[in-house]
Amino acid sequence: MNTTLFTGHFLVELDTVDSTNNYLKGMLAKGKPSEGTVIMANSQVSGRGQVGNSWLTEPGQNLTVSYLFYPGFLEAGKQFYLNMAVSLAVKDCCEALLKDEVKIKWPNDIYYGDTKIGGILIENTISGNLLNSSIVGIGLNVNQTEFDTSLPHPSSLKMIAGKDFDRKEVLATLNIYIEKYYLQLRQQHFNFLDKGYTVALYRYQQTHEFRRANQLIRGEINGVTKEGKLILHCNGKEQRYNFKEIEYVIP
């Protein structure tokens, strides 16, 4: 039984695929699938993270899904608000499942403590100055307990909670939160999304080390601009950084 208005009502389940985002792109090239369409794969062999990073997942153990939306109401210059909405949805979903606090590591990694449990890749098409379509790819570590040693600080819902999770139930919960925040976005509740995202940031208002151009700096995260730049207070000055210009230093 669907408990959402439209998100997840049309679900395509695949055994193996290069990436769920790519599969949705193929569907979009042939027609106009219904908004809220979800692609779910047991095995994703070429999953991608932000800016070419790979997403490695053990077949059948995790949630690898992509959602299709048509946010024609959203200006291209405000597309980071979609990232805020999706990040908050995944965070809230994980908190509901774990009954514990989860954070968003800028721009859109999902962290429990100092460990990564999920990531997001959003690919938008633009028409004029508005978004035309958005493919929202989400990878969430659910039942996997062993990871490639090259991965930075991985964890999973099972490793945290000490129990197995039903991936279909995780997806059903995620659908609810994705739709909740997408509807907030549709209502142009930008301040609501901005405030929620800011206070949910990993290491928000804490002084930590960051790496910039192979140099270590110390700073405090004070928020994010509407374009998605990280606002860092460093040496008495406010600095703003694009993704990949700066990275967290995590023990």
Q: Where are the domains of the chain?
A: 11-199, 207-248
- pLDDT at residue 57 in the model: 66
Regions of the chain where pLDDT drops below 70: 46-57
CA 9 from centre of chain: 21
Among the four given CATH numbers 2.30.30, 3.30.70, 1.10.150, 2.60.40, the one describing domain 207-248: 2.30.30
Joined tokens for residue 110:
């999902």
- pLDDT at residue 54 in the model: 46
Check for a shared fold between 11-199 and 207-248. no
DSSP letters, 112-143, are ETTEEEEEEEEEEEEETTEEEEEEEEEEE--S
Question: Distance between CA atoms of 22 and 173, rounded to whole angstroms?
Answer: 24
The set of long-range contacts for 147-153, using a CB threshold of 8 Å and a minimum separation of 24, is: 147/56, 148/56, 151/56, 151/116, 152/116, 152/250, 153/114, 153/115, 153/116, 153/250
- pLDDT at residue 193 in the model: 98
The pLDDT tens digits of the residues spanning 158-213 come to 999 999 999 999 999 999 999 999 999 999 999 999 999 999 999 999 999 999 99
- H or E segment to which residue 96 belongs: helix 80-98
For helices 190-199 and 80-98, the axis angle rounded to 10 degrees is 50
Domain at 11-199: CATH code: 3.30.930.10
Full-model pTM: 0.94
- pLDDT at residue 18 in the model: 93
String of b and e for 212-242 (b: at least 16 CB within 10 Å)? eeeeebebebebbeeebbbbbbbeeeebebe
- pLDDT at residue 53 in the model: 45
